[in-house]
């Protein structure tokens, strides 16, 4: 790096630090988080690597990394936007037409709009290619019918990226396409799913004769599976955490605080548990840095992203055990209890109960292990009974009858 470039980067870091000192606040809710992203965009610090004509800052990977490193010292502000920014935005950038990029990316980057991901269905989760939501072409429109489930933040989102079956006569993975759907469109019905800890983050989404313009096709017709795979790779990286770009141990810090409170820091078993978490988090940070370096070198996130995602989940399992040991029943129960209680769950309970989702969201641990086996280690793949069979001849998901139309 030239001296001028290094100086410019130092100036950039100072600008970022000052912006974050003024705007990053602990415990930000959705409204505060949105407000933060709008201000970040106004300061020219949003969408750092995206082109300026699409609302980005048009800066380099080094700037992006510098931002992440500086942000690590401040309260995290991006959590509500993990799907919008970490998964939907790169899809718009990679697969959108020029018109779509100009129309949707600036608001998405600035946080003026929120996006969700509509992949999973009651009969299609791990095997998402079994999806039965269908989109049929009718003149200048696509007509969508079907159901999605577990759609995170659908109720708060302005748009969703949907995958639907566009050619039921093609083999399972071939007849799928991707669409941009406005969440307030007539025929889209969003029903909340209440979580045990009182939160309401995901939903069922029903589509009844939802007519969207043909222009809302994202990417090529019937290329939805390849695009979905690309989005899942972005998802694993986003969830597995590219992290701050520095080596940190947030769960260790948290558990150490709990151990201190419980006066158990001198207990050799507790110390051993804490040290193990420390080592695991350090390894995960190093893994994230490797993925980042690969992306910086121009590689799209590959199946190696599954390693970070899986490791993050293993850390959550371990952390749950330690927390239960330290906090006792308080790690699972709270006064009043249940989602109808006005009493919010303690953070220990939220952490313990919420830790299970890490093994499911974005693809289960078993699926990550399959991906690592097949595509990282090159082990033989599972036998697949549906290879070469048209989708409408398969017994999949809720499609039980061979003759049933989809």
Footprint of ligand FAD on this chain (CB under 6 A)?
83, 116-120, 125-126, 150-152, 202, 357, 360-361, 363-364, 366-367, 370
Q: Decide whether 121 or 273 has the Cβ nearer to ligand FAD.
A: 121
Shortest Cβ 261–ligand FAD spacing (Å)? 28
Shortest Cβ 334–ligand FAD spacing (Å)? 20
Shortest Cβ 399–ligand FAD spacing (Å)? 15
Shortest Cβ 328–ligand FAD spacing (Å)? 26
Instruction: Tell me which residue has tokens 């989760």.
Output: 125
Catalytic residue among 220, 235, 393, 405: 235
Q: Decide whether 43 or 360 has the Cβ nearer to ligand FAD.
A: 360
Give the span between the Cα atoms of 238 and 151, in whole angstroms: 16
Answer yes or no: are the C-beta atoms of 219 and 100 closer than 8 Å: no
Q: Decide whether 83 or 178 has the Cβ nearer to ligand FAD.
A: 83
Q: In terms of Cα–Cα distance, which of 79, 1, 93, 3 is closest to 48?
A: 93
Shortest Cβ 128–ligand FAD spacing (Å)? 7
Q: Decide whether 100 or 120 has the Cβ nearer to ligand FAD.
A: 120
Q: What is the DSSP letter of 316?
A: H
Answer yes or no: are the C-beta atoms of 146 and 164 closer than 8 Å: yes
Please list the alpha-helical segments (H only) found in 328-406: 347-354, 365-371
Give the span between the Cα atoms of 400 and 313, in whole angstroms: 33
Q: Decide whether 226 or 370 has the Cβ nearer to ligand FAD.
A: 370
Answer yes or no: are the C-beta atoms of 110 and 158 closer than 8 Å: no
Give the span between the Cα atoms of 304 and 311, in whole angstroms: 11
Using only C-alpha atoms, the chain has a radius of gyration, in whole angstroms, of: 22
Q: In terms of Cα–Cα distance, which of 141, 138, 132 is closest to 162?
A: 132
Shortest Cβ 384–ligand FAD spacing (Å)? 10
Answer yes or no: are the C-beta atoms of 317 and 355 closer than 8 Å: yes
Shortest Cβ 316–ligand FAD spacing (Å)? 12
Q: Judging by beta carbons within 10 Å of its beta carbon (0-12, 13-18, 19+), is residue 14 exposed, middle or buried? A: exposed
Annotated catalytic, 235? yes
Q: Decide whether 199 or 264 has the Cβ nearer to ligand FAD.
A: 199
Query: Quick one: tokens of 233?
Result: 């790779």
Residue nearest to ligand FAD (CB): 125
What proportions of the chain, in percent to the nearest 5, are helix, strand and coil? 50, 15, 35
Give the span between the Cα atoms of 377 and 170, in whole angstroms: 30
Q: Decide whether 36 or 150 has the Cβ nearer to ligand FAD.
A: 150
Answer yes or no: are the C-beta atoms of 211 and 281 closer than 8 Å: no
Q: Decide whether 290 or 369 has the Cβ nearer to ligand FAD.
A: 369
Query: Quick one: tokens of 178?
Result: 């991707």
Shortest Cβ 381–ligand FAD spacing (Å)? 10
What are the backbone dihedrals phi and psi of residue 382, each rounded to the nearest 5 degrees, phi first?
A: -60, 155
Q: Are strands 141-152 and 188-193 parallel, antiparallel or unpaired?
A: unpaired
**What are the b/e assignments for 32-48, b being 16+ CB within 10 Å?**
ebbbbbebbbeeebbbb
Q: In terms of Cα–Cα distance, which of 304, 163, 138 is closest to 214?
A: 138
**Catalytic residue annotation:** 235
């Amino acid at each position: 790096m030239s001296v001028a470039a290094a100086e410019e980067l130092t100036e950039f870091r100072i600008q970022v630090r000052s912006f974050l000192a003024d705007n990053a606040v602990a415990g930000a809710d959705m409204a505060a988080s949105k407000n933060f992203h709008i201000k970040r965009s106004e300061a020219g610090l949003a969408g750092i690597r995206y082109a300026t004509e699409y609302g980005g800052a048009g800066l380099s990977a080094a700037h992006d990394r510098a931002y992440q490193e500086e942000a690590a010292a401040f309260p995290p502000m991006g959590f509500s936007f993990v799907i919008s920014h970490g998964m939907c935005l790169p899809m718009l950038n990679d697969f959108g037409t020029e018109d779509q990029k100009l129309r949707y990316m600036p608001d998405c980057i600035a946080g003026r709009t929120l996006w969700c991901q509509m992949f999973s269905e009651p009969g299609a989760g791990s095997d998402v290619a079994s999806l039965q939501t269908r989109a049929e072409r009718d003149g200048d429109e696509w007509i969508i019918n079907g159901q999605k489930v577990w759609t995170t933040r659908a109720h708060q989102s302005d748009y969703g990226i949907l995958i639907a079956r566009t050619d039921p006569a093609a083999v399972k993975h071939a007849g799928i396409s991707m669409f941009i759907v406005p969440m307030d469109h007539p025929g889209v019905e969003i029903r909340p799913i209440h979580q045990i800890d009182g939160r309401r983050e995901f939903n069922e989404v029903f589509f009844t004769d939802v007519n969207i313009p043909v222009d809302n096709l994202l990417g090529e017709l019937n290329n939805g599976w390849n695009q979905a795979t690309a989005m899942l790779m972005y998802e694993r990286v986003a969830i597995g955490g590219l992290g701050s770009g520095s080596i940190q141990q947030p769960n260790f810090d948290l558990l150490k605080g709990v151990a201190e409170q419980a006066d158990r820091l001198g207990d050799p078993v507790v110390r051993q548990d804490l040290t193990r978490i420390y080592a695991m988090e350090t390894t995960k940070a190093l893994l994230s840095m490797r993925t980042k370096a690969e992306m910086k070198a121009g590689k799209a996130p590959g199946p190696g992203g599954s390693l970070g995602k899986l490791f993050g989940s293993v850390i959550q399992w371990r952390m749950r055990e330690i927390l239960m040991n330290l906090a006792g029943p308080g790690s699972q129960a709270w006064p009043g209890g249940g989602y109808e209680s006005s009493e919010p769950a303690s953070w220990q309970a939220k952490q313990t109960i919420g830790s299970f989702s890490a093994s499911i969201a974005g693809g289960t641990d078993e699926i990550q292990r399959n991906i690592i086996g097949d595509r990282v280690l090159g082990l033989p793949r599972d036998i697949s009974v549906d290879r070469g069979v048209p989708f409408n001849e398969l017994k999949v998901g809720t499609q039980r009858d061979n003759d049933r139309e989809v």
